[in-house]
Chain A
């Protein structure tokens, strides 16, 4: 049996995850077909066809990830980490696509190394946190993991790809938490972020200030530490406007549009308003496949990738959205559960890392589609068109299959 040759517990792998991801991919293809049939004269050049073609390499990636021995990953992951770091720099020497450096030009297909950086980060963090018998009660144990994540995140941020950079950061805290970090330390890591975010709203900033005092007081650190933590956070919050000015115009606009989409209906908020209109007008059961007016009159920008859910919401309605969100929820919870029940810490950390990556993508993409957070240019796993991303999603599923052991079967 090939399964035994690989040395995996393949028979105990969670097959349901594959089934769920295939269902999601199919829903994506159905929507892409709707867009392609009604808008493209040449089906061979349509996003549907491209996605279909990329399904091949994606499934190969899936298989590789299923059968690659776990110990090999564990052994060589730091080497791979540094190689990938180098690769991340490569696109700066290539030509720009759509004003960004995130692609490596491989002839007819572009390739995004940052997609795979996500996987590498999860593995590296898992190895570091499981190998070192860290005293997670110490805040100093956060140091290397943060460095490990920040370096590639900054490179990607510079590409510039704010969305992917943020996604890259998301596994860090759940994995630290998983590894036993104290909630208070998680709070300290999140505090600067919250300080910056609330700084733009006087009331929120005041509430946050009070909240910090309460939490710090409950922890009862040394007075000097408490004061340093408290005031450095306040200072950071007050510094935020300066940071804000260092953002690019379009990033600022996206954030501003979130605060008040009606401000400039033809400018930054255009996408959000169009997306909401498309979704809202779909109603419970949608306008029917191929019948979405917002979609096919192309009022919706980047509908094949970032805003694919608007197309689904408009054409197939709330019922399908419900199904999609339920499947994602089930998948992510399944991964968390697999992590909980895995025997070794490395596997558990990898699973929780991947679950957070999926969660980040799903949440950010959907929240932006419905206008809850700024547009980040983040695709929806399995459903959005995009070769590298589809492949990396299936590879993550492969890893889940690889390290996860379904105890219920």
Chain B
């Protein structure tokens, strides 16, 4: 029972007392170390700890047309984020969010995986939530520990125009993109970045500066108050950019081109302002914003006609008969021909062992230079170009900027191809090519590829006698002059005369380009470019002059057949709208 004696020795008692005191001293010394010795360090650490830098997204700058119509705008959406370390039961929370918003919880889980970075870094769950969805979530936020939301401005396109490839699209910064950009501080995951078109080219202006708010936050992610004395920085909206585009003309061109593949560009050659810029097929720009459906996107991306491609600056085409102008200019300037000298066209031409054909199989009869251009007679140019060497011809192409970028304010512009002797030697071997190739080149066929924007620059120089302004959408302060092809006034005047007669002459190939407006003169050249992809591409490049105003047009319809039949009428509608302006703007804003 309880009779056993307590037999503890004094020595053992003291050992136990010693152990207790020893252990307690260890604990006490640890507190002394943390609270007294290392006080400053931990004090500082605690300061940082309670503060979270919260980024405030800056709305991007707007994009306006020349009359101030808004082409690209922002509207506020909400994104939902969660701090992974604070969500105790992820699945349950995802299900509740799904219940409140009607969004499939598997999508939420997928996003969570995609955006996850670290346990205590806010991770995006959903974007493009409506105000209504957010208010339901807000009411139930206590059931959703770790879940938070913030405003996020998205693009939307209030005007009726598409301008898809021109305006470009944004994409989300994901991990590979962020790595490519180098500096991870500028773009956060999930930020939007201009990825094509003007959005990309003017990214630095449009982007704006993200703000930073230093907030006291608790571990539930609840943001308390802003911390004073810290470097809170407001977000600075991006700068608006004003385009020289005329939305009215743009819309007209989009409508005229809607059934075709091809391009239409209108510009003011004196200033270099681009007034309309259409590449078809295109896509409704809204598919890239929040409301974009995956199916829409895939449809656009997998479309064999490549609507994402900007044909104006990246499309490479043979220029066809429009290049007879270059050949003529070169011959005139070198005074290698007598413009009045006639050549007999009977529909074909024998050169060495090859037979070259005119497009007019029955032949044009007697043709001088003017008729050769007006009626676009091939035989005339086959014969005349033989007076030129390849390098002479190539130099003239370079004078007009072919084979080089025009430097227009868009990314990814291509250079095209002008076959120099060096190029021909490399491709065919020194003896593998002959002047027969030049015969083709004189007609804009063979080893030559141009971008439509180069053609715009070309016709602008013709229309201004070599004084065209550098092509641009956004006016810059230090307007640098573009290239300056040097030809004598005589040469410029003659070419202009021939181009005018191409439209005004009864037999001119470009006659359907004339809207017949009093005081308006139209000049231009058609082209029917043979190509391996089917029917020839239809070109029309031209200008209209009235009083002091000039408008140039470059129209290309892929596989459209004859330039005079299909491209020229489209140019006509542009002239008539530009020189007979309608008082009221045609732009009707869409409801957002």
Contact assessment for A344 and B5 in the assembled complex, using a CB-CB cutoff below 8 Å: yes
**How distant is the Cα of A333 from the Cα of B25 in the complex, in angstroms?**
14
A70, A329, A362: the one within 8 Å of B2 (CB): A70
Contact assessment for B17 and A346 in the assembled complex, using a CB-CB cutoff below 8 Å: no
Tell me whether A370 and B39 are in contact in the complex, defined as CB-CB below 8 angstroms, given that A336-B16, A363-B23 are known contacts.
no
**How distant is the Cα of A70 from the Cα of B2 in the complex, in angstroms?**
9
Closest to A174 in B: B16
Binary contact readout B464-478 vs A (1 if CB under 8 angstroms, 0 otherwise): 000000000000000
Contact assessment for B35 and A283 in the assembled complex, using a CB-CB cutoff below 8 Å: yes
Greatest chain A CB density within 10 A among B34, B50, B220 is at: B34
Contact assessment for B43 and A297 in the assembled complex, using a CB-CB cutoff below 8 Å: no
Question: With a CB–CB cut-off of 8 A, which chain A residues contact B219?
Answer: 297-299, 301
B6, B28, B42, B118: the one within 8 Å of A276 (CB): B42
**How distant is the Cα of A74 from the Cα of B3 in the complex, in angstroms?**
11
Closest to B48 in A: A277
Contact assessment for B27 and A325 in the assembled complex, using a CB-CB cutoff below 8 Å: yes
A340 at the interface (CB under 8 A from B): yes
* A-B interface pairs (CB < 8 A), number: 155
Contact assessment for B17 and A336 in the assembled complex, using a CB-CB cutoff below 8 Å: yes
Question: With a CB–CB cut-off of 8 A, which chain B residues contact A277?
Answer: 42, 45-46, 49
A259 at the interface (CB under 8 A from B): no
Contact assessment for B6 and A345 in the assembled complex, using a CB-CB cutoff below 8 Å: yes
Within 8 A of B (CB), among A41-90: 70-71, 74
Contact assessment for A283 and B20 in the assembled complex, using a CB-CB cutoff below 8 Å: no
Within 8 A of A (CB), among B5-48: 5-8, 12-13, 16-17, 20-21, 23-24, 26-28, 30-32, 34-36, 38-39, 41-43, 45-46
What is the distance, in angstroms, from A189's C-beta to the closest C-beta of chain B?
16
Question: With a CB–CB cut-off of 8 A, which chain A residues contact B224?
Answer: 297
B186 at the interface (CB under 8 A from A): no
A267, A293, A333: the one within 8 Å of B50 (CB): A293
Contact assessment for A363 and B27 in the assembled complex, using a CB-CB cutoff below 8 Å: yes
What is the distance, in angstroms, from A45's C-beta to the closest C-beta of chain B?
13
Is the interface on chain A under 10, 10 to 19, 20 to 34, or 35 or more residues? 35 or more
A243 at the interface (CB under 8 A from B): no
Contact assessment for B46 and A278 in the assembled complex, using a CB-CB cutoff below 8 Å: yes
Within 8 A of B (CB), among A110-163: 130-131, 133
B516 at the interface (CB under 8 A from A): no
What is the distance, in angstroms, from A406's C-beta to the closest C-beta of chain B?
15
Tell me whether A266 and B119 are in contact in the complex, defined as CB-CB below 8 angstroms, given that A298-B219, A318-B35 are known contacts.
yes
Contact assessment for B4 and A280 in the assembled complex, using a CB-CB cutoff below 8 Å: no
Closest to B216 in A: A297
A280, A345, A347, A372: the one within 8 Å of B38 (CB): A280
What is the distance, in angstroms, from B275's C-beta to the closest C-beta of chain A?
55
Contact assessment for B7 and A318 in the assembled complex, using a CB-CB cutoff below 8 Å: no
Contact assessment for B119 and A299 in the assembled complex, using a CB-CB cutoff below 8 Å: no
Binary contact readout A328-339 vs B (1 if CB under 8 angstroms, 0 otherwise): 110011001101
Question: With a CB–CB cut-off of 8 A, which chain A residues contact B217?
Answer: 297
Closest to A322 in B: B28
Contact assessment for B23 and A359 in the assembled complex, using a CB-CB cutoff below 8 Å: yes
A321 at the interface (CB under 8 A from B): yes
Closest to B121 in A: A266
Question: With a CB–CB cut-off of 8 A, which chain A residues contact B8?
Answer: 178, 339-340, 348
B218 at the interface (CB under 8 A from A): yes
Question: With a CB–CB cut-off of 8 A, which chain B residues contact A314?
Answer: 46
What is the distance, in angstroms, from A315's C-beta to the closest C-beta of chain B?
12
Question: With a CB–CB cut-off of 8 A, which chain A residues contact B45?
Answer: 277, 280-281
Tell me whether A344 and B24 are in contact in the complex, defined as CB-CB below 8 angstroms, given that A277-B49, A280-B39 are known contacts.
no
Question: With a CB–CB cut-off of 8 A, which chain A residues contact B4?
Answer: 130-131, 133, 344-346
Binary contact readout B110-124 vs A (1 if CB under 8 angstroms, 0 otherwise): 000000001110000
Question: With a CB–CB cut-off of 8 A, which chain B residues contact A177?
Answer: 12, 16
B1 at the interface (CB under 8 A from A): yes
Closest to B44 in A: A281
**How distant is the Cα of A71 from the Cα of B1 in the complex, in angstroms?**
8
B5, B7, B34, B49: the one within 8 Å of A299 (CB): B49
**How distant is the Cα of A293 from the Cα of B225 in the complex, in angstroms?**
13
A33 at the interface (CB under 8 A from B): no
Contact assessment for B35 and A284 in the assembled complex, using a CB-CB cutoff below 8 Å: yes
A279 at the interface (CB under 8 A from B): yes
**How distant is the Cα of A317 from the Cα of B39 in the complex, in angstroms?**
11
Tell me whether A346 and B2 are in contact in the complex, defined as CB-CB below 8 angstroms, given that A299-B219, A333-B17 are known contacts.
yes
A251 at the interface (CB under 8 A from B): no
**How distant is the Cα of A343 from the Cα of B3 in the complex, in angstroms?**
9
* B contacts with A, residue count (CB < 8 A): 44
B208 at the interface (CB under 8 A from A): no
Question: With a CB–CB cut-off of 8 A, which chain B residues contact A185?
Answer: none
What is the distance, in angstroms, from A203's C-beta to the closest C-beta of chain B?
21
Question: With a CB–CB cut-off of 8 A, which chain B residues contact A284?
Answer: 35-36, 39
What is the distance, in angstroms, from B13's C-beta to the closest C-beta of chain A?
5
Contact assessment for B5 and A297 in the assembled complex, using a CB-CB cutoff below 8 Å: no
Closest to B27 in A: A366
Contact assessment for B34 and A345 in the assembled complex, using a CB-CB cutoff below 8 Å: no
What is the distance, in angstroms, from A376's C-beta to the closest C-beta of chain B?
15
Closest to B220 in A: A298
Question: With a CB–CB cut-off of 8 A, which chain B residues contact A270?
Answer: 85, 119-120
Contact assessment for A332 and B20 in the assembled complex, using a CB-CB cutoff below 8 Å: yes
What is the distance, in angstroms, from A73's C-beta to the closest C-beta of chain B?
10
Contact assessment for B23 and A280 in the assembled complex, using a CB-CB cutoff below 8 Å: no
Contact assessment for A372 and B30 in the assembled complex, using a CB-CB cutoff below 8 Å: yes
A282 at the interface (CB under 8 A from B): yes
What is the distance, in angstroms, from B116's C-beta to the closest C-beta of chain A?
12
Question: With a CB–CB cut-off of 8 A, which chain A residues contact B41?
Answer: 280
Question: With a CB–CB cut-off of 8 A, which chain A residues contact B5?
Answer: 343-345
Contact assessment for A283 and B46 in the assembled complex, using a CB-CB cutoff below 8 Å: no
A191 at the interface (CB under 8 A from B): no
Binary contact readout A294-325 vs B (1 if CB under 8 angstroms, 0 otherwise): 10111101000000000001100110011001
Question: With a CB–CB cut-off of 8 A, which chain B residues contact A294?
Answer: 46, 49-50
Contact assessment for A266 and B85 in the assembled complex, using a CB-CB cutoff below 8 Å: yes
**How distant is the Cα of A333 from the Cα of B39 in the complex, in angstroms?**
31
Question: With a CB–CB cut-off of 8 A, which chain B residues contact A366?
Answer: 27
Contact assessment for A325 and B24 in the assembled complex, using a CB-CB cutoff below 8 Å: yes
B16, B23, B43, B119: the one within 8 Å of A352 (CB): B16
Question: With a CB–CB cut-off of 8 A, which chain A residues contact B7?
Answer: 179-180, 345
Closest to A352 in B: B16
**How distant is the Cα of A177 from the Cα of B17 in the complex, in angstroms?**
13
Contact assessment for A344 and B30 in the assembled complex, using a CB-CB cutoff below 8 Å: no
What is the distance, in angstroms, from B281's C-beta to the closest C-beta of chain A?
49
A213 at the interface (CB under 8 A from B): no
Contact assessment for A344 and B2 in the assembled complex, using a CB-CB cutoff below 8 Å: yes
Closest to B38 in A: A280
Binary contact readout B59-88 vs A (1 if CB under 8 angstroms, 0 otherwise): 000000000000000000000000001000
Question: With a CB–CB cut-off of 8 A, which chain B residues contact A328?
Answer: 24
Contact assessment for A297 and B31 in the assembled complex, using a CB-CB cutoff below 8 Å: no
A274 at the interface (CB under 8 A from B): yes
Contact assessment for A266 and B120 in the assembled complex, using a CB-CB cutoff below 8 Å: yes
Closest to B41 in A: A280
Tell me whether A370 and B16 are in contact in the complex, defined as CB-CB below 8 angstroms, given that A74-B1, A344-B2 are known contacts.
no
A133, A274, A281, A359: the one within 8 Å of B20 (CB): A359
Question: With a CB–CB cut-off of 8 A, which chain B residues contact A298?
Answer: 218-220
**Can you list 11 contacts pairing A with B, beta carbon distance less than 8 Å?**
A177-B12, A179-B7, A279-B35, A280-B38, A298-B218, A321-B28, A321-B31, A336-B17, A337-B13, A342-B6, A363-B27
| Inter-chain pairs besides A280-B34, A348-B8, 20 sampled, C-beta below 8 Å | A71-B2, A130-B4, A177-B16, A266-B119, A274-B49, A277-B49, A283-B35, A294-B50, A318-B35, A321-B31, A325-B28, A325-B31, A329-B21, A337-B17, A347-B2, A347-B6, A363-B23, A366-B27, A370-B27, A370-B30
A contacts, CB < 8 Å to B: 70-71, 74, 130-131, 133, 174, 177-180, 266-267, 270, 274, 276-284, 293-294, 296-299, 301, 313-314, 317-318, 321-322, 325, 328-329, 332-333, 336-337, 339-340, 342-348, 352, 355, 359, 362-363, 366-367, 370, 372
Rank and list the top 6 A-B pairs by shortest CB-CB distance, nearest first: A280-B42, A281-B46, A298-B219, A345-B4, A266-B119, A318-B35
